[in-house]
Amino acid sequence: MPIKKQRANKNNAPVPVGTERVKVLLSQAKIQKRIREMAKLIRKDFPHEPLLLVGVLKGAVLFLADLARQITGEVTFDFIAVSSYGKDSRSSGQVKLNKDLDSSIEGKTVIVVEDILDTGLTLRYLLRILQQRKPKNLRVAVLLDKVERRLTDVHADYVGFPIPNEFVVGYGLDYAERYRNLADVKILSLPGGSH
C-alpha cells in the first residue's frame, strides 16, 4: 500500500535491485516501546470494551500483530484492502475496495490500524464506508503520520510517530513489495537522489 501513497521516483521507472540505499529512521526498540504506549492509551479509552482491530493490507500487518499482543482484554481482528487508481501511478484521489471485511462491525468498537497516514484520501474513504456500517465506536491508530503530505482534513486518534516527508520502508512498508520484513523503519534513497 505505501508504494501507492509515496512517490518512488520522478519517472516511476523501475530501480535496479541493490542500487538503492536505506538508513534507519526508527529503530525496532523505539517502535516497540511506542506500540506498548499506544496499546495502553487505547485500553484506557476503552477499559472494558471488546476491541476489533481492522488492519489495512498489506502494510499494517506487522503493526497490527504487535499492537494486538500489547492490548489487554478481548481483542479480535479483521482485514480490509483498498487501492488508489487512475491513469497515473500517483494517487488520483479515487479509491476502490479490493478486499472487504469478513464480518459485520455493527455495534462494535473498531480501531482502524494503518501503517502510514499521508494524504489522508484513503483513510477518509475507509472511514466513510466503515461509519455507514454503524460501529459503536470508530477510531484510527497509525504507526506513522506524514502530516505535511495531508490533502484532506482527516486525523488519527492514536499516532506512533510524526515523520518527515521521506520515502520510508520496513516494518510492513514496501518499495515494489520489498523491504516489508525489515524490523526498523528506514528512509529509502534511490539513485540520483530521488525518493
Integer-rounded Cα Rg, in Å, for the chain is 16
Tell me how far apart the alpha carbons of residues 81 and 79 are, in angstroms, rounded to a whole number: 7
Q: Which of 66, 115, 118, 174 is catalytic?
A: 118
Active site residue 88: no
Query: Per this entry, what is the length of the chain?
Result: 195
Tell me how far apart the alpha carbons of residues 159 and 165 are, in angstroms, rounded to a whole number: 16
Using alpha carbons only, what angle is made at residue 44 by residues 39 and 154, rounded to the nearest 5 degrees?
70
**Would you name the residues annotated as active-site residues?**
118
